[in-house]
Each structure stands twice: as structure tokens, then as C-alpha cells.
Amino acid sequence: MTCYEGKQNRTIGKSLLQLIYICNHTVTLFNSTVKNKTVFLCYTVIKQRRMENDFVGGSGK
């Protein structure tokens, strides 16, 4: 999943809007014609990852 490759991994703890911006920017670099579809995929992954973080955080990892 493109939006979690490389340095983007370190932004998971930041705001959702910032993550969506990173996904959007990454997708634009590849192909603007698939931007909407891929950004939606990134958004879904971010929501899932945040929910996992909340769950894990509640039990102290």
C-alpha cells in the first residue's frame, strides 16, 4: 500500500487529514487518473490502522 511505504510510516500517529494529504500527494505522483480510487483505499487503511492503534493502546500493547 503506497501511502505506508518509506517515511510515511512515521506519520501514522498524526492527524487523519495529514495522512490523507500524504496519500493524495503520493498518488498524484503516480497517476492522477486513479487518484480518487487510491485515496479512498488509503483512507480506508488509515481508519483501520487507527482503530487497531486504539485497541492495542487500551491494553498497553
Q: pLDDT at position 31, please? A: 47
Locate the domains of the chain by residue range: 31-56
Over residues 29-55, mean pLDDT: 56
* CA–CA dist 47, 12 (Å, integer): 10
**3-class DSSP assignment, residue 38:** helix
Tell me the pLDDT tens digit for each residue of 1-40.
444 444 444 544 555 555 556 655 555 544 445 555 555 5
Helix (H) or strand (E) segment spanning residue 22:
helix 16-30
> 41 CB contacts (<8 Å, ≥6 apart)?
1
pLDDT value of residue 51: 59
Model confidence band, residue 60 (pLDDT cutoffs 50, 70, 90): very low
pTM given for the model: 0.20
